[in-house]
């Protein structure tokens, strides 16, 4: 089956499936050598579903592999605990659906998840107004996914949230300062509905009523213009030569420096300047230089205890992905050894 069919069968998004391929947890059954398209076998669905469930209860990547490939008794115990948690969450979801019904306008999304997604990508947006369309975050709602994307030309961050299918498809660029104001409204364990209206993105409580703590609706100004075709740019990127999984906090500490920082990945280690970090490295040894401030911002916005770095070449973008969430991705340009800011 195609990666899209596998995503629908397992509940994982296509970007998460690519992540689990690169990390070695769930490689496809076959990859077309001419196109690079991934294809999966039907008997891989069960493993994909198990991965999704284990990650939802925040198991580290190494633990997921140990559960799936290790002792059956310990694996069954972990899965039983997961089933209990999922039943509780399913009861809550059913109660929300009964309370608000399917006819309310806008696409439903969990307020806390949306706030987190905004926080993860917003730092990659351009801080100035030299290119107005980049002083914002692109929202795209289509085919059961809500994607948020931002770039300042040196970085690009994108995060995808799964949403119910069957809602109107739309896209709009949220103005940066207006969006920051809206995040203060996205609080609490509640479902909000999001949609595009003329010159604004509208956020509304599913209940449609104000509480003692919040108003029932918020709006965000939009930026006119055409956002860069980042999907074409991502599709044109060469295949990463090396994938590195490293502890996020340790890497963040190693990036607390100035000037171009040499990075070198080889078997079992990632060297960042004078610091050598333990890492899981798949692929060829590779060396390049990074702006520590730019890379640190990408690492900081990640979630979970680990990050994955996709490395291609000293003059090609490196990708920072959350090892806890395959749907969060940030591209960072390397720098020349004699420069602290500009890309190669």
Tell me the domain boundaries of the chain: 3-100, 107-231, 238-332
Over 50: is that where the pLDDT of 203 sits? yes
pLDDT band, residue 182 (cuts 50/70/90)? very high
Question: What's the pTM?
Answer: 0.64
335-340 — which CB contacts under 8 Å span 24+ positions? 335/260, 335/289, 335/290, 335/291, 336/260, 336/289, 337/260, 337/262, 337/289, 338/260, 339/260, 340/258, 340/259, 340/260, 340/291
What does the pLDDT look like over 148-166, one tens digit per residue? 999 998 889 999 888 887 7
Other C-beta atoms lying within 10 Å of the C-beta of residue 8 = 13
What does the pLDDT look like over 4-62, one tens digit per residue? 999 999 988 888 898 899 888 999 999 998 888 999 999 999 999 988 878 877 677 76
pLDDT band, residue 212 (cuts 50/70/90)? very low
pLDDT of residue 78: 67
What does the pLDDT look like over 287-302, one tens digit per residue? 999 999 889 988 988 8
99 with 186: CB under 8 angstroms?
Answer: no
Q: What's the CA gap between 336 and 288, in Å, rounded? A: 8
Cα angle 183, 189, 190; round to 5: 80
Could you tell me which CATH number the domain at 107-231 has?
Answer: 3.10.150.10
Other C-beta atoms lying within 10 Å of the C-beta of residue 144 = 17
pLDDT of residue 276: 96
Beta bridge partners of 110: 191
3-class state of residue 151 by DSSP: strand
pLDDT of residue 103: 46
CATH topology of domain 3-100: Multidrug-efflux Transporter Regulator; Chain: A; Domain 2 (1.10.1660)
Q: What's the CA gap between 200 and 193, in Å, rounded? A: 14
What does the pLDDT look like over 229-246, one tens digit per residue? 988 888 888 889 999 999
Same fold for the domain at 107-231 and the one at 238-332? Answer: yes
Over 60: is that where the pLDDT of 260 sits? yes
Mean pLDDT of 257-283: 93
Mean pLDDT of 105-128: 89
What does the pLDDT look like over 126-142, one tens digit per residue? 988 889 999 999 999 98
Superfamily per CATH, domain 238-332: DNA Polymerase III, subunit A, domain 2 (3.10.150.10)
Over 70: is that where the pLDDT of 334 sits? yes
């Amino acid at each position: 089956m195609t990666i899209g069919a596998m995503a629908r069968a397992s509940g994982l998004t296509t970007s998460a499936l690519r992540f689990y391929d690169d990390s070695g947890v769930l490689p496809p059954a076959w990859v077309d050598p001419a196109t690079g398209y991934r294809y999966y076998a039907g008997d891989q669905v069960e493993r994909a579903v198990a991965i999704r469930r284990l990650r939802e209860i925040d198991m580290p990547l190494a633990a997921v592999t140990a559960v799936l490939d290790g002792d059956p008794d310990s694996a069954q115990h972990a899965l039983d605990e997961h089933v209990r948690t999922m039943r509780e969450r399913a009861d809550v979801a059913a109660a929300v659906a009964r309370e608000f019904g399917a006819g309310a306008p806008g696409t439903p999304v969990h307020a806390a998840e949306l706030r987190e997604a905004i926080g993860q990508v917003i730092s990659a947006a351009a801080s100035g107004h030299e290119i107005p369309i980049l002083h914002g975050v692109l929202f795209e709602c289509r085919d059961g996914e809500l994607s948020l994307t931002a770039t300042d030309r040196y970085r690009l961050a994108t995060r995808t949230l799964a949403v119910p299918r069957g809602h109107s498809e739309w896209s709009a660029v949220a103005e940066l300062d207006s969006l920051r104001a809206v995040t203060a409204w996205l609080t609490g364990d509640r479902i909000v509905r999001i949609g595009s209206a003329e010159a604004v993105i509208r956020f509304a409580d599913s209940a449609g009523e104000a509480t003692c703590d919040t108003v029932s609706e918020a709006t965000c100004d939009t930026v006119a213009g055409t956002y860069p075709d980042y999907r074409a740019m991502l599709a044109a990127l060469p295949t990463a030569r090396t994938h590195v999984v490293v502890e996020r906090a340790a890497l963040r500490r190693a990036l607390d420096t100035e000037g171009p920082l040499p990075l070198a990945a080889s078997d079992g280690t990632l060297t960042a300047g004078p610091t050598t970090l333990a890492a899981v490295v798949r692929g060829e040894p590779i060396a390049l230089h990074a702006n520590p401030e730019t890379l640190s911002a990408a690492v900081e916005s990640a979630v979970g205890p680990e990050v994955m770095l996709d490395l291609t070449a000293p003059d090609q973008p490196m990708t920072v992905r959350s090892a806890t969430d395959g749907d969060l991705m940030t591209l960072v340009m390397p720098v020349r050894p004699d420069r602290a800011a500009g890309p190669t």
